Each structure stands twice: as structure tokens, then as C-alpha cells.
Chain A
């Protein structure tokens, strides 16, 4: 396919694909303006910010929109703000709300950083609504008597972020929020908004703050936990601010509180699972993701526009958690549920579909089979069917290469390695993108298994150590981008060849990466024996 044809395909399929780019940790914004009327819904969380309006109903829908915004439910938040704006067209704050959420980028700053790298400047169509609303909010706020000074400062911040002339719109927003907080230092909403836009996450694998803002956001949120303990946004943002850090377990109280405050938003039920998974509480992670899945299936039934990307992310993480917990059947079952979703026609013809329920279901099954070393099932061609996209095809041959090497079939393993390389070449040629970093690690790991199958054990152990190091440097993502820690495979190989010291070290690494990883714990016991 020529580059021109690829461009034309992308253009034709843009309505479905534009909203799909980036990760799926939070539901994407709606390409189309949400339909009205909105309803006042139970379980959205209680948030109140008094705004200038003549209509009590407007205030109610505004507050609901704000609560939904703090749980990153862009689509429903926009619907609520839109309803509020319809009820009182002269009020600037409902327009502020639309400007905040319609672009789908009311997310932690570290996620915005990652998505920006993935999307290379593409902007969802819904951003036009966010920009128009920002202009409208600014216009309405200038009408005498229609906005307080505080409201004007909120409006100025979102207007700065939505100004297309801004080269660094998030930084412009942060500056404006600091101006607001200089005048209103105790404003909880202002502090929350600032914290989200300055949290830059933590590095891998050493878990150090990526920027000073990361530490500042944590400090702000620790203070808000005391000051506004019933605010759902505080607990949600604590979870995001602490994930990937050395102190992730400090977010456990918020993980318990947040779903109680917001029992009817899938993302609110899902997020505690992130922290539980990182801190080795796999059983609690499973409960969180399962609860979110049950809630989300209800919303999916009610809304034909809902889509399956967030469900795909949530249930994929559920499957990964089952797998780390050591529950093979449940992990496979979760993967199969997702794999049963039909890709839409755009996904069916796209060159690369890393997200979406169907492809995440396939990946969940693959990672489970590899983590449990189900080599016969991987090779039977039925349990894990071939997947006709270069990215998944590379993973398929990788898994089969591992299986053949583990069974001592060196020649067959080399054939799978060659097929893996062919898929990688096809990926770069057809997508015009570089090789995915996680598949480069996979290549290195497969090389180690081939060396072992060829009888070069010392070299194999060195190669797997290098692959493990590279894997731990992969960009933070959840569920983990790599199917299972390379260190697990290194430990297993070391045990097989009676190298207990190497095995001990490998399992220690795996357990450091994923505390209570059942596979590392089990093999640690075996190593000690």
C-alpha cells in the first residue's frame, strides 16, 4: 500500500479512529456532541461549586458535570455541562465545563505527555467544541454581573489552554491556575486542577519523579486529603499521582474511598485496581476490575455510541491480574470475553490495532498462556488463533518461538524467529512507524531462548538478563506492555540448568517489579528446593 493510499484510508476512517488514538485508560471523548436531554444520575459523586446562574437546575447539572469531569468521563460530563448551558445560556461556567472536557484531555499530565508522543500532534474532532466553548465562556464572563472574579480566573485558564496560538497549552493553563491560586489559595477546585496538570509521573524502573511538578502534586493532594476528604476528585487524583511511585501503597485509603463515593462510573471503580495491582494486592485488583466491568456492561447496553475501548482496557487488566495471581482459567476466560467483541469495520481494515476489546482480548490470552508456560496450547493453533495484523503476528510467532525452544525444538524455534522478523518488517513497512519498543525487547528475549535451545546456556542467561533490563525501562503503562516479566523466564531457565543463584536473583527482580507475582513466588520456592 502506498503512503498516499494509507493517508486516504485514514481520512475515510477518521470518524472512528480519531477518538481511538492514545490509550484507553479513560473513555475517549465523543466525536459528536452528546445528545440531550441529560439526566441527573445516581452514583456520580457529590461535588459542588457555586456558579453565577439564575437557574437552580443549571447549578445541579453543572455540579454533576464537574463530578463526572473529576472521574474523567468526558462524554457524560460534556452532556451535563451542555444541559446546564441550555438551561442558562448566559452563564459562563457551563461553557467553561465544556471547554474543560470536550477535548478528552482532562487527564493526568503524564498521560497527556504519553498520548502526545503516540499521536504526533493529531487532535480529536471534539476539540473544536472545546475551543468554541472556551471562546464562549470568555465572552459570557465579560458581561457585567455574569461572573465572579474567581469564575473569570477559571475561564481565563481554560481559554489559555484552548488558545491555538499557545505552543505549550498545558503550561499556559498551569500559569493561569497559579494566578488563580495566588488570589484564592484555599480554593479546592483550583488546587485539584493544578495538581492534575503538573503531575508528570515517575520514571521506570527507578520510580523517581519525572519533574518537580510530580512532587508538588503529591504534596497538594496530601493536604487535600485532610481538607476535603469527601471530594471524589481528591481520591481519584491521589491514585493517579501516586501510581508508579515508591509510595503507591499510600493511596490504599483512597482506593477504598473513591468507589464508595462514585459507585456508578466505570473508571472510578476501575482505578483502585491500578494501585492494588502495583502493590501486589492482586485479589483486590481483580475485585476492582470486575466491579468496573459489571458496571460498564450496563452502560454499554444503554448507549449505542458507548464503544468498547475502556471495557477492553479494564478487562485486559482484569485478565493480567488473574494471571499474576495465578488463576489461569479466569484469566483466559476474561481474555476470551474481550476477544469475542467484533472489531468494527475500520478496525478490521486498519494496519495496526493495538487497542480495542478484540485485540486486547487476544493479547490477554497470549500473555496468560506465556506466563503459565502453556506451550502445547500455544502451539495447537486453536487456543491462541493467528491474528492477521503485523503487530499481533509478531507476538504470535514470539510466543510460538518460546514454546518451541522450551520443548527443545531448536530448528522450529528458529523458524518462528524468522517469521517474527518478517512480521516486524511488515509492521514498519506498512505503518511507516518504528518498531514498538516492547517488541524489540521480545526479540531480545527470544534470542536468549534460541541460544538456550542451541546449547549456549551462559550466553542465553546473559541475553535474558539484558532483555529483562530493557523490559524494565519500557515506558510505564497499564496493564504492563510486556506479556510477563522476562525475569520469570530467566529464573525458570536458571532452575532448569541448576543455577540457583541466578534464579534467586531473577525472581527477586520479578517480585520487585510485580509484588506477589504468583509465578515468581512459586518458582522461588522451587529454586530454594
Chain B
């Protein structure tokens, strides 16, 4: 009894925020790219064992999670896990789930060339949605800054093994010429980072992107999707308030883990 009490006293509990990179239900663990955990641990990607197997239900790569990490002397366990998100806007019902194949689409890139998803088969593809006039620094500019970070981090594989695709939700305004200017602003290398416009409604619906116009503004729910080499959804991340490093961990896992 005394021993149990001393173990209990030795345990520390930390709140953790992160993005799920992979789930191993058999091992009852999840690989999470997490933010710094207080003074205990810097931001990194690491596996966490959950207390209850049921807590892994409904988790997928890209899910944003919050949980408590209970650290004992020789072990640790995650508990009270909840999924979190920037917004509560439900993606359309017909959206794809992780593991499902993305239907081909054909749009026009910043150079006016046709761009098809099927042409990218065999590469890992990261897709986000923005519009160039977005006035809010915390939304579209942040998403583009995160892709710029990916471009720098994976520059050796960009265009050959990894493609970044940014699709506008304001295609009437964001013509190829406008997107070319925007691409220059972010220093985009058009061999590996394409900005697409055209009839974007179908691909947006597939990938769960919701957008609308109202009172002189465009609202959208900012989803980022990673498509595997096989053309299937590998991960989906909601919102824009995550860190570039977390997205890079997801991409890296897809590049290395499933090659």
C-alpha cells in the first residue's frame, strides 16, 4: 500500500497538444507530433501509449488532439484524450476519409498550364486551400508560410518525391496571373509548389474544404490534406493554428514511413 502511494506521489501529469501522425491499435499507441510539454519536453514527434484502447477510436493521421500525459518513474501513459479543432464547421458529408482514393482533378496552375492529380501519382502530395486577398494574417498567410517551410525543409525532394499544391477558394479573382504574383511573394519553386485555380468546387468537397462568400468576405475552414503515393488520403489537418513542424512531421512520416 505504501509502495502504491509512493508511486502515485512520484507521478507527474502534463497537458499535451499535438497532431496524430500514426495510430497503432495493436500496440495501443499513437505517434504524435506535439508542442512543447511544459518544462518536461520540447516539441517533437514521439509515440504515446494510451491508458484505454478505446481512446484510439476515431483517431486518424492529422487529427488534432489534447490529452494528459501521466509520467511515472519508469513509464508514462496518455489519458483523457479529446480531439480538438480550430473550428466546428462540419466538412461536407461526401468528403473523403483517410485511406480513400482521391478522384482525379484538372485545374490550371500559376503558369496557366493544366495540372492533374493523376500526373503526380507516385509522389506524396500536400494540398491546402487559401485565397490571395485573405486579410487575416492568422489564416491564409500562415498556411502559405507553413508550405514555404515545407519547401525549405524538403527542397531536395521537392518536385521529385513531394509536391505542394495550394488551391484557391476565390477562383474568380485568383487567375493564374494573380496566383503567379502570389507564388513569387512566397518564393515558390514551381517545380514543386503549384498554385491552382479553375473549377475547384469538386476537389474542395472531396477534401472537406468548406468556403462561402458573405458581406464582402470569403470564409473557409482551412483543411490541409496529405495524399500518399498511391493517391489515397494519408492525413487531414483542420484549421491553421498548428505549427509548420507538425505538418513537416506528417509529411516526413509519409515520405519515409510508407515508401
Contact = CB atoms under 8 A, between A and B. Distances in A.
Interface of A: 5, 8-9, 11-16, 18-20, 27-35, 75, 125-126, 128, 304-309, 344-346, 348-349
B138 A304 contact: no
A9 B90 CA distance: 12
Interface in B126-176: 133-136, 138-139, 173
Contact of A15 (B84, B88, B134): B134
19 contacts: A12-B87, A12-B241, A13-B89, A13-B219, A15-B134, A15-B217, A18-B217, A30-B215, A30-B216, A31-B216, A32-B135, A32-B218, A126-B135, A305-B217, A307-B214, A308-B214, A344-B219, A345-B90, A345-B221
B216 A305 contact: yes
A462 B62 CA distance: 60
Most buried by B among A12, A30, A344, A348: A12
Most buried by B among A5, A15, A31, A126: A15
Given A33-B133, A125-B136, A16 B215 contact: yes
A356 B133 CA distance: 24
Nearest to A348: B89
B29 interface: no
B24 interface: no
B136 to A, nearest CB: 6
Contacts of B133: 32-33
Contacts of B89: 12-13, 345-346, 348-349
A346 B221 CA distance: 9
A308 B215 CA distance: 7
A12 B135 contact: no
Given A12-B221, A349-B90, 8 more contacts: A11-B139, A12-B87, A15-B134, A126-B135, A305-B216, A307-B215, A344-B212, A349-B87
Contacts of B220: 15
Contacts of B90: 345, 349
B203 interface: no
Interface in B60-104: 84-90
Closest 3 CB pairs of A and B: A30-B216, A307-B215, A16-B219
A305 B138 contact: no
A125 B212 contact: no
A334 B212 CA distance: 25
Contacts of A348: 89
Contacts of A75: 216
B142 to A, nearest CB: 10
B246 interface: no
Contact of A32 (B85, B86, B216, B221): B216
A505 to B, nearest CB: 45
Contact of B88 (A11, A307, A349): A349
Contact of B84 (A5, A28, A29, A31): A5
Most buried by B among A9, A31, A345: A345
Contacts of A29: 216
A178 B133 CA distance: 38
B222 interface: yes
Contact of B86 (A11, A16, A126): A11
Nearest to A6: B88
B217 A32 contact: yes
Nearest to B217: A31
Contacts of A28: 215-216
Nearest to B135: A125
B240 interface: yes
Given A13-B219, A344-B219, A8 B86 contact: yes
Contacts of B85: 8
B257 to A, nearest CB: 29
B86 A15 contact: no
Contact of A20 (B215, B221, B241): B215
B215 A35 contact: no
A11 B217 contact: no
A18 B134 CA distance: 13
B221 A19 contact: no
B213 interface: yes
Contacts of B239: 8, 12
Interface in B33-73: none
B173 A35 contact: yes
A12 B212 contact: no
Contacts of A13: 87, 89, 219
A20 B139 CA distance: 18
Contacts of A16: 212, 214-215, 217, 219
A345 B210 contact: yes
Nearest to B216: A30
Contacts of B219: 13, 15-16, 344-346
A12 B222 contact: yes
A345 B208 CA distance: 13
Contacts of B86: 8-9, 11-12
Given A8-B241, A32-B135, A35-B173, A15 B87 contact: no
A128 B134 CA distance: 13
B91 to A, nearest CB: 10
Contacts of A19: 215-217
B214 A12 contact: no
Contacts of A304: 213
B224 to A, nearest CB: 13
A17 to B, nearest CB: 8
A90 B40 CA distance: 59
B215 A11 contact: no
Interface string B183-224: 000000000000000000000000000101111111111100
Contacts of A8: 84-87, 239, 241
A381 B243 CA distance: 47
Contacts of A125: 135-136
B129 to A, nearest CB: 13
A11 B87 CA distance: 8
A20 B151 CA distance: 36
Given A5-B84, A128-B135, A349-B89, A31 B215 contact: yes
B11 to A, nearest CB: 24
Interface string B230-247: 000000000111000000
A345 B88 CA distance: 9
